[in-house]
Amino acid sequence: MSRLVVDGWGKTIAVENEQIVVKEREANETKIVYRSIPSEIEQVIVTGSGSITTRAIELLAENGVDVVFIDWKGQVRARISPPIMRTVNTRREQYRAFDEPKGGALAKEFVRCKMRNQMSLLGTMAKTRRDSQPAKAQALSEGRHGIELWLEKLDEIRTASCNEIRDAIMGIEGNASAIYWDSISQLIDESFQFRNRSGRYATDPVNALLNYGYAVLEGECWKAIHYAGLDPYGGFLHVDRPGRASMVLDLMEMFRQQLVDKVVFELIFHKRVEPKEFEMENGVCKMQEGARKLLLTEILSKMEDHIRLPEKRMKWSDVIQREAVSVAKFLRGETTSYRGFWMRW
């Protein structure tokens, strides 16, 4: 199965002979640039100013294919998904768990795995620089150790409901992330003007790349949450806020470093993207089309890569789905604990 990415102006996703086609209009001529049966499509990502017909939406939904719309700022603007196929029991247990220690245990585990993955990535980068850049390797190792100390403090927090322990957890997560991004900033060339992680509305190329990558990851996590029967908005670590898919953001925390950060850093360190490929628009740093397409290609390719787990080799996208299902099983009481995903170093 493949992912269909529609990027650029003037393209339309439509149906022809029960097949999904992409039409492109150029110089008063319309031609078909893509054609596939819907069962061969895993996901559709629309990143430009394209359009999609009602019949195409229906046919994709009938085949369990969701459609994600991402804007140039790196935000998921809309998502179309097939109807929910699970019973309501999972969601009832999800809402109930928020006020119970079970919800706090999930919030704590999401942060623990995020910090573990931050340590893993810093450790890997230190190892590859041990001979060529010993001073930077030492600084990365010290950053890794700094996060490890905060991890010990996280383990000391007693398990209770989300409201009782969230502030303490988020405080630790904030301190660990400050160490992580400060360590990373030492490796990035000054020309990228990266100082720290800024979140939405990037003002430098690195944050623009990260925001866009996280938006692609968000679409994948949303799909996993949906098929696991969970409510995307009923999170544990992230607070409730109108329009915020807190459960999706919770799940994402375990995958940001391995699936997005690593790809972005490799593009920068190997000079596959350069500062001249970005420009400011209304105070927001914007990627040019070439950089955006390269990042999208690399992250989607990464999703299809396999990793070796203790039990078997799995695609990254299947690992995300597996974690969402494991969370649902824990909430329904089918397992007594939940152990999240992190990479060993």
Read off the pLDDT of residues 183-217 as tens digits, 9 standing for 90 and up.
999 999 999 999 899 878 899 999 999 999 999 99
Tell me the pLDDT band of 224, cut-offs 50, 70 and 90.
very high
User: What letter represents residue 42's amino acid?
Assistant: E
Mean pLDDT of the chain: 92
Tokens of 154: 């996280």
CA-wise closest residue to 187 among 124, 115, 265, 132 = 265
| H or E, element range at 290 | helix 289-304
pTM given for the model: 0.88
CA-wise closest residue to 318 among 83, 89, 42 = 42
For the CA atoms of 259, 207, 201, 235, what is the dihedral angle to 10 degrees?
Answer: 30
| Separation between Cα atoms, residue 285 and residue 287, nearest integer Å | 7
User: To the nearest whole percent, how much of the chain has pLDDT over 90?
Assistant: 75
Q: Which residue has the higher pLDDT, 4 or 345?
A: 4
Q: What is the pLDDT of residue 201?
A: 87
Tell me the pLDDT band of 47, cut-offs 50, 70 and 90.
confident
| Separation between Cα atoms, residue 261 and residue 255, nearest integer Å | 9
Tokens of 202: 């990037």
Q: Which residue has the higher pLDDT, 65 or 326?
A: 326
Q: What is the pLDDT of residue 337?
A: 96
CA-wise closest residue to 173 among 101, 256, 229, 95 = 256
Judged by DSSP in three states, 70 sits in: strand
Q: What is the pLDDT of residue 66?
A: 87
C-alpha dist (Å) from residue 143 to 5, 88, 198, 297: 37, 44, 19, 30
| Separation between Cα atoms, residue 341 and residue 99, nearest integer Å | 24
At 231-268, the pLDDT tens digits run 999 999 998 888 889 999 999 999 999 999 999 999 99
Does residue 271 surpass a pLDDT of 80?
Answer: yes
Q: Are 205 and 272 in contact (CB under 8 A)?
A: no
Tell me the pLDDT band of 1, cut-offs 50, 70 and 90.
low
Q: What is the pLDDT of residue 242?
A: 84
Query: Rounded mean pLDDT of 309-313?
Result: 85
At 60-95, the pLDDT tens digits run 988 888 899 988 777 888 888 877 655 689 999 999
Does residue 118 surpass a pLDDT of 70?
Answer: yes
Q: What is the pLDDT of residue 84?
A: 62
Q: What is the CA 232 to chain-centroid distance, rounded?
A: 14
Tokens of 230: 């969970």
Tokens of 284: 């927001």
Query: Rounded mean pLDDT of 315-337?
Result: 96
Lowest-pLDDT choice from 91-100, 208-217, 308-317, 321-330: 308-317
Does residue 342 surpass a pLDDT of 90?
Answer: yes
| Separation between Cα atoms, residue 227 and residue 83, nearest integer Å | 10
Sort strands 29-36 and 278-281 into parallel, antiparallel or unpaired.
unpaired
